[in-house]
Amino acid sequence: ACISSHRTFLGPNAMLATIVRVLDPREQEKEERYRKIYSDQGVYRCHTSKACSHVCPKEIDVARFIALAKKGFLPE
């Protein structure tokens, strides 16, 4: 469902999984996860079409989490 035109974009599923790991207080590799989120293949490749949120079978607003990450609203 993602319409990102950049072929190296990790995609909404990988981005959400990485964001969820960052939010988990037990996560030991947060720095590595942040590097992935803010890499050249990360959240800034998202075009914010919100297609991922519309087709998510679990009705998760994936685009919202990606947007929060883009704005830097993830805890450190």
| DSSP structure class, residue 57 | T
Q: What is the mean pLDDT of residues 14-21?
A: 96
**Residue ranges of the domains in the chain?**
12-70
Would you call 48 helix, strand, or coil by DSSP? coil
Residue 1 has pLDDT above 80, yes or no: no
Q: What is the pTM of this model?
A: 0.88
Interval 28-58: pLDDT, tens: 999 999 999 999 999 999 999 999 999 999 9
For residues 11 and 21, what is the distance between their CA atoms, to the nearest angstrom?
16
How many Cβ atoms from other residues are within 10 Å of residue 52's Cβ?
A: 24
Interval 62-72: pLDDT, tens: 999 999 999 99
